[in-house]
Amino acid sequence: MDGMMVTGSEKMLARKADGIGWMTFNNPERHNAVSMEMWQAAERILTDFIADDAVRVVVVTGAGGKAFVSGADISKFESERSSEEAVNAYQAQTAKVYDLLYACPKPTIAMIQGHCIGGGTALAVCCDLRICGETASFGVPAAKLGLGYPISGLRKLVDVVGPSFAKEIFFTAKRWTSEEARIMGLVNRVVPNDKLEEFVVGYATTIAGNAPLTVASSKAIINEAVKDRGAADEAMCDRLVKACFASEDYVEGRRAFMEKRKPQFKGR
């Protein structure tokens, strides 16, 4: 059903419209820095989007136009990360959202305006596609802060940009422009700032209109294809392909093509 969702946090917004689930980090006064409460709300939102068959694409973005997500909310460190136990709880919740987004069976798009720094970059690389405005900037300043990044996060970045660019991003800890990010492969598309949402809506609408089983199976199979040979679950991939050919949507796709009309896919 289209409309806004109750998230349990005013700093996390969720909306469903035309097959698209929108999750917005809504802390613009702090460049969309993320608190524990926001991470918990993000988990609830993503869980709902994944379970809702009406949601065919998930878009993640930040409010205010100046930042996508800028990482942890430092103003909350004293209350949320002042002890080892609290730090571990925060990191576990963050990892839970990253993993939930990365493993989402539906296509995910990061719509990026402004700064995409640290945890924001980590969140963006959990998405399937990253589309940004011309003035977006990216960076992981861990080497300027003395932070360590776990292999799970680094692996996602390496999968997107390759090991050489991943090393450059981490070694230099510098800020990268949208065009530099595009060259690295960190983003798929760079569009004018004032056309960003329109472009993303168009992309998401196109994807939402395609056969859900085909889209979901291609996502799963591509994720298997990048694994080392022998590590991929080829039997699962075969099952997904067979399920597409056995679906009602395959019949609908053929009929629509022959009848020269737009297919109406139902995901079954």
Amino acid 78: pLDDT: 55
CA angle, residues 8, 11, 15, in degrees to nearest 5: 70
Q: In what order do the strands lie in the sheet with 108-112?
A: 3-5, 12-17, 20-25, 57-62, 108-112, 129-133, 189-191
Amino acid 91: pLDDT: 82
Amino acid 136: pLDDT: 96
Token look-up 């709300």 returns 41
**Residue 69 near residue 116, CB atoms below 8 Å:** yes
Amino acid 75: pLDDT: 58
User: Average pLDDT per run of 10 along the chain, which is 268 residues long?
Assistant: 67 94 94 90 95 96 92 59 72 90 96 93 96 96 85 90 96 95 97 97 95 94 88 91 91 89 87
Among candidate residues 75, 118, 73, the one with its CA nearest the CA of residue 98: 118
